[in-house]
Structure 1
């Protein structure tokens, strides 16, 4: 352990990168003169003020380079004006590596192409903005599954190659495949003086052989780097590369003669402080023919770590670990079915074994389990051959960072000391001592990570909102650094040092090594403009904290936004949800600060979130981008200073479809649809709203009128008058309008099923038998547009053999909620709660899934009464109830044979509130196994897809999943669309294939229903 003192972090006049008042007009003028568009708007700067760390630093501007020439021009403009330059990929850096006070270059938007997969050479040529998961998929496609790209961090579906090179990212299979630096062949860079160079395993050269100036710069750099290595041979050999996961500091051991003077590997992990990466050739690895997950349960993570040595004897490709806090949170947020196949335990290891012969791999798994039983620490263990269970378990591990930040208990944890590493053999003792250190400071650590490589991800319950809590954060970080160094470890084992750990490097390295780091950086970047604040001359680890400096202010809200564990909607007893909550902040502040920047909303794969980002590829249209602007709003930052009246916030929320997918897909549970509704309610008070807020937002009111004259209205809409009416209401004229149903049509449909609509008390039928059965709630959309679905749903429920009571008295207020007209929404929801609260616990089955979701989730969050909570707890979507019926032994008897295949478009609100698999499980339960799941938002999302200004984006969203699913399925395959919005989009995309409700597939028909009811009456004791 070094005795060096911490460096002086005071800014010096010759280091313009550190001055907060850099000359924005000068650099913007220089960029404009070079033809480089730069966005310096308050909204854009807010979006890029954060990454996935604890820090916030507003940039001067953001540039989206479209070519290497753009990068060169941007670098030259920044150098000429002394402006800091920060490279950024997916923005998932957890140590503050991807933010800074100057110009941010976002490579992910345009410089994201895969140029060539060269199987013979075993390399792939890529641009820095390529997402890692896309890279692996393309390599496997191009080589017919023979090869893949190995590094697979948990953020692989949004993290980029450039970011992985910057941080030397690893991943779940690093036990086998190591770090990103182990897979680099060549790196193309632009230096801070504009030279285009290529670093490889033997040195540096000009990227363009005919560029003589670059060749001279390469020769100069080569000479200086060799001189640096020669002057530090002993230190490089003894202080660097001691353990597998020694990521802290620069990787200068690669410059040693015995390493071949590998400049490319020495650049990996430099966190953008030496040069700007503009391209790379990365190595491929063979893909195993067979792999098997073995899941092993333990009493705790420390006990699990004691078996690592035994497990490594079996040459696994992955040894990952999680604790029960993450599992509990996953189940709490996404249901018990979200975690399948875990053996008994309170902490678990995931061990991947692989090979050419699946039988041999399975036998090896049994030998491993036998050895672990002999060790006596394993509580339970099992192989997991089922691919569904395997995917479910890995999903828990991959969203661990987000899940551990917002726990099921209502607590929150933060990074800062989240990826220290030791040699695997020293892990048990290190973790035991680390737990003692946590206890000393009254902190809790949620543990998960790469146990097989000795690298632990530990998110800790710091209080970063108070001065006292931030003081504990600083003290604990220093003591944690001293602890890991005592165990021979590294401050960082994967995420880099950034602003979180650079200040602590003197604890790990000698003064001579720190000087070598500074010399290395200066050789590359003598102007000192590249990513200041990290590694050398670091910012204080408790400086620029995002939660510091947020003013105390009462942000009064209609929604109850308190965390569940702090008395939120599940247990609130007050009508004032704006009361101060746990965690020391107003509930609105706490809610919008829930996003920690993990960036899962930027993923193209898995889940539904975020449909607008998938359409536009713009950070402002991601859930994270919106949350970051809201976070600046509550800070009262100069960039977003108008609060509820902020035009920047309105703009960033404009393309939010209010699909609610983020509330379940986001690991932190960020619910942007709710935040949008709340903000719009305040923003438009006393202002004229968009026309669509009156036409579509007030739709249930208009339906009362159109229901009386439906034939006349439909006839008029079929003429050019229809387009005029749509335009007058702020709606697009490109989308076909639905036909309106007569006011009494739904009553006829329900009556045909043998039921009578109820009165204001929720229905008079079956009063004597109200302790059993179900209540069928026929919502406004079904009554106004799809009354035939009400009849089908009534017949299905009646055919299930239980009393069915029909209610249509009430409205969920969904259209008012989505447009932010919350006074009306609350009034309607109170009325619905009164109508449906009948003193029983009978399930309330709602035909339209979006209305079911509103009654289940929005009702108790907007109406803060026991009555509202009682009713909400009883609400089911139709598909959810079908699943429950089937689980109880019921089998449908449809009038028409069930189809063997269906295209499934699950409504986003049902997906978010009742579970992602609700529809699939219902289909499987009734015997429909062939499902083409169009996982993704349909694009209509209530009023969004009907609004003139949103139509084009609506159709782009449909192209992500629904439109391809329709094109890829046969014309006779039914399209299942329980949601009315989804049905409207299907009608737009494929007019000859109308969407059908699950009730229509299962409809026994009038004759069968009548016969069933007659039989029930004969068998009744009455």
Structure 2
């Protein structure tokens, strides 16, 4: 099958490129050890980056090693296919999407090959993530790769080299180019060589060796000799990222071919390895926030701050802060800001905190003597500094998808001017925004280097809106150039600015850039249509005037997305935070295990976007590519909180499953675990018989087979006594002085962990509450939601809401013990049942045990007694839905009040997550999630240390995989504290399974 590729992949002045895609895919599959993906689903995954552009690739190669990369380029050359080497895929200028064979290094080609602390250097593969490199080098000698983009937790070194990335610390370290010593590169025609600074002797040696390397170096020398004067007269500013970095080829800069190729965006060569210069990180830092009247005043103040040589100098405006407040992002940090309408964030480094703080004090004293001194807030503790950094690093996503505001987009998001001219540039730029009706755009950025960031509410779906987008960008380019600036100060040119380079450099220099590219890539096969010979900036838009997605009827209402599933599917802006391999938060457990784009939140969102678009993904709700990507989604809801734009993939997955299996036979576990509440109620008729049968050889195996459960998993053990029957027959306790509370009888606690419910009753009564519970059968519908049986879930939830309505109207708090079920009331109920006053009451009145006690009984502080007077220790696993929906701070507060020394694990999802992990096809991923942090921490914990996990799934995962250890619920700990038990007493007493015994202990 020969495919004629679109015009942008032509060689300039040549004929369209024709590629036999089928033959190429077959040849790659024979030669490449790694993964060759030419299916529609994989192509759709890589059709967009973080920009406004969309180009469906020919195919994707995920190389296993560098030999695979060489083979891929060789075969692409044989078949005439363009090549695009891609990093983390977060690019905002469109350089990471093309009609080409995309090479994704991130999954396998991501090693530190060597590290020399004495030389302060490391040789790395292009797929390594910046934070992981710095963690490696910092552990050994406190050395780091200096530039630090906001995407540092997931951007790759290869991507940083492609864009010449900078980030906040470039004020101190310089750009990526300034920190690259050598590169091993591969040209499209097969030359593999190391390049770097080239002395005259080295140049002569290369020429003497002959061949293509000699030809490349000779032509580069001739190019720079012809245009040396023009190169020396290029704009001088810290962030001149636009165009090619040809000044590095000047003799006074060492004829540095490596640095000339940094920022070439895969348009010239494929980078195989990089030798990086490392810097000693300042041992201590101190930060000051300076408040100004507005962002223009803050920009003018840069001239006063920069002479003090801050480590970083960033800026934020009040619109950004307002948008973060509206989205409930970083509330604790936002209260740390001093008064003002804009802020400069200056950080200083030193050998000690006192030295760094001294630099801050000198700056503050100097500024206080000015005509308009700023307001000031100084920080020298890491916690507060980290909180402020989160505000700044979330800016791109914080300004996107703001409730009640038009969507904002990149397109003019990283211009840079000389820092001393920034105030004047911002003044003119603000007027331009107002003229075009874009005044809602927030302004922030790396002001110490004169770099401005903004996302603008462009209309990219109407003809007139796209025309206005183009007109604005052209005017903004003129304004930037008029202030001696660079169209890009960080993100590169790609398609967004390549067409505009003539404005900045003039036609003659642009022709020099074209000649530079042709030296390495004469046939224009490397990422064509970017930087030079660029596609029009208003073509190949991800949306565009012809964007007309399907608007399917749905079960969930998507109130945050204007009741539109298509809009929800387009919520992801490509930031890529879901591609982290660790760090704080839950998102995205399956990506952390697989390292595969299709198993990231972003990848799944991209496929859903393509599904409703209906071009590359044409199967709609029945499409197997979308089903495969969603299959490893644990429905943990981590993305609902951790994703900067709050993509809720668990909800999207449930919606997809509901339609995917409509009228079809479902997987067996959907009928067994998905209907667990029904089977649990039936099991109470003869729990002993059911439990014995489940553990009888042969019978138990057959039961697991019929249920779709992995034979190595244990089936749930049903309670020997009915908690509900026990509760309703007992004499109510508690003084009732605090009023009544309704204890929610979720399926897991009622039928599988009744000792938890009994302990909770003891705690609530000890705190002065009178506990009530409905007599009717009720359920939140969680298991039906997670398996996409949404019609049933809605009916179950509606029936339960009708039972709860009288209690809710009386103002009773509803106390949930199982986080996933409690999360349904706080989140899913509103989207499934729509606007309903009883739903609103349910959302507002549902509380976790910790929330109720910290809010309503602040003096309730039952004390745990440790050994020898020491505080007892606990290792705590936070349930995903506690993290994502409910919040966990009240739990840690309450445990601290009880005298517990708490270590909250940064473990993410335990990996079980409802029915996920119970099935054979998911078991390996499930356990791999747990083995990241949770299970090693459990095994390493001292026997006297309590293991705390409120989630039934978390406790099950620990019991199944960590032999001899059991975790307890917070209610059990508090119940023990009320009774004055020491932690050593818990295994025999607090962990009693029979409800009656647990209550007696309470």
Q: TM-score, normalised by structure 2?
A: 0.92
Comparing 86-95 with 542-551, greater Cα deviation is found at 542-551
Q: Secondary structure at the match of 1:711?
A: helix
Which one of 379, 382, 405 corresponds to residue 400 of structure 2?
405
The Cα of 1:11 is off from its aligned counterpart by 4.9
The Cα of 1:258 is off from its aligned counterpart by 1.5
Which one of 187, 190, 196 corresponds to residue 191 of structure 1?
187
The Cα of 1:364 is off from its aligned counterpart by 2.4
CA shift in 2, pair 1:16/1:695, >3 Å: farther
1:611 and 2:589 aligned: yes
1:878 and 2:876 aligned: no
CA shift in 2, pair 1:535/1:934, >3 Å: closer
The Cα of 1:274 is off from its aligned counterpart by 0.8
State the distance in 2 between where 1:748 and 1:338 align. 47
Instruction: Within 5 Å, give how 1:58-457 maps onto structure 2.
Output: 58-143=56-141, 145=142, 147-202=143-198, 216-240=211-235, 242-331=236-325, 332-334=327-329, 336-337=331-332, 339=334, 341-375=336-370, 377=372, 380-443=375-438, 444-457=440-453
The Cα of 1:408 is off from its aligned counterpart by 4.3
Judge conservation of contact 1:601–1:623 (CA < 8 Å) in 2. Answer: yes
Which one of 749, 771, 783 corresponds to residue 750 of structure 2?
783
State the distance in 2 between where 1:19 and 1:695 align. 56
Unpaired runs of 5+ residues, structure 2, are 1-5, 982-1002
1:799 and 2:795 aligned: no
Judge conservation of contact 1:198–1:205 (CA < 8 Å) in 2. Answer: no
The Cα of 1:121 is off from its aligned counterpart by 1.2
State the distance in 2 between where 1:400 and 1:86 align. 28
Cα offsets for 1:327-369 (capped at 9, x unmatched):
3444534563465633333433221111113223223222322
The Cα of 1:39 is off from its aligned counterpart by 0.8
The Cα of 1:279 is off from its aligned counterpart by 0.2
Instruction: Within 5 Å, give how 1:922-1001 maps onto structure 2.
Output: 922-1001=894-973
Cα offsets for 1:889-945 (capped at 9, x unmatched):
332256989963211111101110123645434433444343142431000001101
1:852 and 2:822 aligned: yes
Which one of 13, 20, 25 corresponds to residue 22 of structure 2?
25
The Cα of 1:960 is off from its aligned counterpart by 1.6
Comparing 775-784 with 84-93, greater Cα deviation is found at 775-784
Judge conservation of contact 2:285–2:348 (CA < 8 Å) in 1. Answer: yes
Instruction: Within 5 Å, give how 1:464-475 maps onto structure 2.
Output: 464-475=460-471
Judge conservation of contact 2:243–2:493 (CA < 8 Å) in 1. Answer: yes
1:693 and 2:664 aligned: no
CA shift in 2, pair 1:539/1:973, >3 Å: same
State the distance in 2 between where 1:632 and 1:206 align. 51
Which one of 680, 685, 690 corresponds to residue 703 of structure 1?
680
Cα offsets for 1:552-602 (capped at 9, x unmatched):
5331111121327x5xxxxxxxxxx4xxxxxxxxx1111010011111101
Judge conservation of contact 1:333–1:408 (CA < 8 Å) in 2. Answer: no
Comparing 736-745 with 18-27, greater Cα deviation is found at 18-27
The Cα of 1:416 is off from its aligned counterpart by 1.0
Which one of 717, 726, 732 corresponds to residue 739 of structure 1?
717
State the distance in 2 between where 1:708 and 1:17 align. 79
CA shift in 2, pair 1:917/1:350, >3 Å: farther
Instruction: Within 5 Å, give how 1:409-808 maps onto structure 2.
Output: 409-443=404-438, 444-548=440-544, 549-563=546-560, 577=563, 587-604=564-581, 605-637=583-615, 639-720=616-697, 721-742=699-720, 744-748=722-726, 754=732, 772-807=739-774
State the distance in 1 between where 2:743 and 2:864 align. 19
Comparing 548-557 with 999-1008, greater Cα deviation is found at 999-1008
Q: Secondary structure at the match of 2:971?
A: helix
State the distance in 2 between where 1:814 and 1:1002 align. 27
Q: Secondary structure at the match of 2:443?
A: strand
2:862 aligned residue: 892
The Cα of 1:718 is off from its aligned counterpart by 1.8
Judge conservation of contact 1:97–1:499 (CA < 8 Å) in 2. Answer: yes
Q: Secondary structure at the match of 1:697?
A: coil
State the distance in 2 between where 1:703 and 1:895 align. 37
CA shift in 2, pair 1:679/1:21, >3 Å: farther
State the distance in 1 between where 2:887 and 2:448 align. 33
Comparing 595-604 with 344-353, greater Cα deviation is found at 344-353
CA shift in 2, pair 1:617/1:111, >3 Å: same
State the distance in 1 between where 2:724 and 2:384 align. 42
State the distance in 2 between where 1:163 and 1:1006 align. 56
Q: Secondary structure at the match of 2:454?
A: strand
Comparing 263-272 with 714-723, greater Cα deviation is found at 714-723
Q: Secondary structure at the match of 2:917?
A: helix
State the distance in 2 between where 1:860 and 1:343 align. 37
Cα offsets for 1:151-171 (capped at 9, x unmatched):
111111111111100100011
Q: Secondary structure at the match of 2:455?
A: strand
The Cα of 1:474 is off from its aligned counterpart by 1.1
CA shift in 2, pair 1:293/1:731, >3 Å: same
The Cα of 1:998 is off from its aligned counterpart by 0.5
The Cα of 1:53 is off from its aligned counterpart by 1.1
Which one of 790, 798, 810 corresponds to residue 830 of structure 1?
798
CA shift in 2, pair 1:687/1:371, >3 Å: same
1:760 aligned residue: none
State the distance in 2 between where 1:753 and 1:157 align. 55
The Cα of 1:808 is off from its aligned counterpart by 6.6
2:986 aligned residue: none
CA shift in 2, pair 1:13/1:845, >3 Å: closer
The Cα of 1:834 is off from its aligned counterpart by 2.0
Judge conservation of contact 1:297–1:381 (CA < 8 Å) in 2. Answer: yes
State the distance in 1 between where 2:629 and 2:146 align. 36
The Cα of 1:648 is off from its aligned counterpart by 1.4
1:34 aligned residue: 31
CA shift in 2, pair 1:347/1:967, >3 Å: farther
Q: Secondary structure at the match of 1:185?
A: strand
State the distance in 2 between where 1:19 and 1:627 align. 32
State the distance in 2 between where 1:788 and 1:70 align. 56
Comparing 943-952 with 318-327, greater Cα deviation is found at 318-327
1:907 and 2:879 aligned: yes
State the distance in 2 between where 1:77 and 1:610 align. 34
Q: Secondary structure at the match of 2:465?
A: helix
CA shift in 2, pair 1:335/1:535, >3 Å: closer
Judge conservation of contact 1:880–1:914 (CA < 8 Å) in 2. Answer: no
CA shift in 2, pair 1:632/1:536, >3 Å: same
1:814 aligned residue: 782
CA shift in 2, pair 1:376/1:18, >3 Å: farther
The Cα of 1:631 is off from its aligned counterpart by 0.7
CA shift in 2, pair 1:247/1:718, >3 Å: same
